[in-house]
Each structure stands twice: as structure tokens, then as C-alpha cells.
Amino acid sequence: MSLTFLPSTAGVEARRGGVFSPRYVDFGADLTPPLGGPATRLNRLGARWALDVRLPPLSAEDARVWVSRLVQGRSGTVALRWPQSGLAVGAPGAPVVNGAQSKGAQQLHIRGLAGQYPLREGQFLTVTAGGRRQLYMAALQTLASAGGLVTAVIRPGLRSVPADGSAVELNPPLIEGLLQGREVGWTLEAARTVGLSFSIVEAA
């Protein structure tokens, strides 16, 4: 399946008319007994992230590129920078997966971070596993050791097992997934007057 990189959204997210709305897609369920009794939570593997995007009106040049990439992206997956409003990621170094990991684990072992780099609660990172990027959120603030090691607490749990040495993308993290939206609205005229709308849902 081909991968299309959507244009950079730097400078676009804060413009009037642009909206970037992250969503958490959860396949678990709350089980409530029909005759009373305590409710229980049923968690299932496979929770993932999604992003709803409404771009502001674009210049003619930018509009042509966006329409082209969206049309191309319908034949495979697309990748887009994940928004992290107000967060200065800084210089995290060159982090990679450190050693063996376990499917479903809510921890990710990382090496290669800049010494004493603070991985903040709510910060996102991308790991490639099975040939696709997968997006995770740090659920606890942790500080890398002087040697650049850290065990990140993540949500959701690992959907696939990344190989030792796989890149961990922090600056910026990317969401890779399938496009959802109305292709008929992806026109040059719409891009220049009202903006384009689409959603990306992680595929794996």
C-alpha cells in the first residue's frame, strides 16, 4: 500500500478557519448488568488515534498541492504532522526503540534521546512497526537518563511490536492512516474559498 505525505501544516494550524481536532478511537466497552450490580470495563487491543482536519482557505499554489496529495492518498495511506498546540518539543536527539518490546505493553523502552530530555505527559511520539507508523501518547512525564535512556509510559498499548533500533519520531510525530472524507469537496475552488475537510484514522 502506497504512502502519501500531506503538505506541512506549519503556519496553517493557527490561521483563522483552520481546525485540527484529535480523537481517541477506543474499541473497549463498559459492561453494565441489566439487573444492577457493579459495572465493569472491558478493554480491547487496537485503540488508536484519529485526526479531523478543516483547513483554512489556501492560496492557489497551496490549494493545488493539497488537492493533489489528497487525491493521491485515497489509493493508500497518508501521513501528516500531529498537532501539539503550545508544546515546544525542543531537541530530543535521535531516539530509537531500545531492545525487545511486547505487544499490548503500555511501556516503550527508548535509547538515543538527548541526555536529560523531558518526555512530557501528553506529548506524542511515532514508532514504525510492521512497515507503518503508529502514534502513541506519553501518559506520564519521564526524564531521560544522562545516557539518553528512558522507559516511556504510553497510551494506547503497543498495537504491533517495533524492532530494536526502529526510529522514534518526536519532532514531529506523524499520524499515518486512511483518509476519510468527501472526495467531491476536494477541489481547487473549495480549497481557495472555504478550505478542505478530511479525517485520518490510523489503519494499524
112 — alpha (psi -120 to 50), left (phi > 0) or beta? left
Q: What is the pLDDT of residue 183?
A: 61
Q: Please give the average per-residue pLDDT across 180-191, as a whole number.
A: 81
Tens digit of each residue's pLDDT (9 = 90 or more) over 145-158 = 999 999 999 999 99
Domain 93-171 in the same topology as domain 3-83+175-202: no
Tens digit of each residue's pLDDT (9 = 90 or more) over 113-122 = 999 999 999 9
Q: Could you tell me where the DSSP H helices lie in 27-135? A: 60-73
- Give the chain's mean pLDDT: 92
Residue 160 CA, distance from chain mean position: 15
Candidates 3.40.50, 1.10.238, 3.40.720, 3.30.200; correct CATH number of 3-83+175-202? Answer: 3.30.200
Please tell me the class of the 93-171 domain: mainly beta
Indicate the pLDDT class of residue 185, thresholds 50, 70 and 90. confident
Domain boundaries, the chain: 3-83+175-202, 93-171
Give the 3-state secondary structure of residue 71.
helix
Q: What is the pLDDT of residue 152?
A: 98
